[in-house]
Amino acid sequence: AQSVSQHNHHVILSEAASLELGCNYSYGGTVNLFWYVQYPGQHLQLLLKYFSGDPLVKGIKGFEAEFIKSKFSFNLRKPSVQWSDTAEYFCAVTIKAAGNKLTFGGGTRVLVKP
Amino acid sequence: GAVVSQHPSRVICKSGTSVKIECRSLDFQATTMFWYRQFPKKSLMLMATSNEGSKATYEQGVEKDKFLINHASLTLSTLTVTSAHPEDSSFYICSAHQVLAATEQYFGPGTRLTVT
């Protein structure tokens, strides 16, 4: 079965700092990759997704992620964070063979200090 | 955009009673809906896949007799927690696939269940 790991459980940084959240998955076949964000008290929202094509994906709110197939990675980046980026971020994977079920990573809680 | 609603948003019930949670796709049809459970400060755990017109598929370790799922129409799936116990207290979240674009899931706002 596929699994998803997120390296950092908690990240604390200051406004304007750059953010990179690691995500690795374990599955040798074709995958669809997602990053979701959950702001305090709100429901999950899709930040960006990768299905095929350009491995550098741009999402909402200035986020981007790069799919590196050889490393089984899909790291999320933002060059300059804002206080409003304080949230929990989840990496997730689906594989067609598993009926498009999402497998989530453990999540990374990001706190941006003003 | 695709909107998924859940009702109720919060529910408190007594131990031994049953609670029904509804998940609706408001502006699209969903052949497949998913039910997740999120523990405090933890990630989402898939409980079951709900398919319209057929039986739900449960993940390993999830009791199908305790968590009853019904997907009666293309816009509604329900999760009933039967004979609830305090350990069932959690945040339950549903998501839905669009019929014609089954590549992305849209999430509901979640239901906070507290069993006393």
- Give per-residue pLDDT as tens, A33-86: 999 999 988 888 999 999 999 999 999 999 999 999 999 999 999 999 999 999
Average pLDDT, chain A: 92
Sign of CA dihedral A97, A102, A105, A108: positive
Q: Is the pLDDT of residue B102 over 60?
A: no
- Per DSSP, B59 falls in state P
How many residues are there in chain A?
114
Give the pLDDT mean for B5-22. 96
How sure is the predictor about B20, in pLDDT bands with cuts at 50, 70 and 90?
Answer: very high
Q: Is the pLDDT of residue B99 over 80?
A: no
The pLDDT assigned to B100 comes to 62
The pLDDT assigned to A27 comes to 85
Assess contact for B95 and B105: CB atoms under 8 A: yes
B49/A109 touch (CB, cutoff 8 Å), yes or no: no
Report pLDDT digits (tens) over B46-95: 999 998 888 899 999 999 999 999 998 889 999 999 999 999 999 999 99
Which of A48, A102, A109, A111 to mutate: most B Cβ within 10 Å?
Answer: A102
CA distance B52 to B99: 11
- Choose among B95, B103, B105: nearest Cβ to A51: B103
Q: Return the closest-CA partner of residue A47 out of A38, A37, A57, A39.
A: A37
The pLDDT assigned to A7 comes to 87
CA distance B62 to B20: 17
CA distance B6 to A57: 30
| Cross-strand bridge partners of residue B73 | B76
**Strand boundaries in B8-116, DSSP class E:** 10-13, 19-25, 32-38, 44-51, 57-58, 67-73, 76-81, 90-97, 105-107, 111-115
CA distance A71 to B50: 33
* B chain contacts of residue A87, beta-carbon cutoff 8 Å: none
B77 CB burial (10 A radius; 0-12, 13-18, 19+): buried
B25/A contact by beta carbon, under 8 A: no
The pLDDT assigned to A40 comes to 87
B43/A42 touch (CB, cutoff 8 Å), yes or no: no
Lowest mean pLDDT among A7-11, A73-77, A96-100, B6-10: A96-100
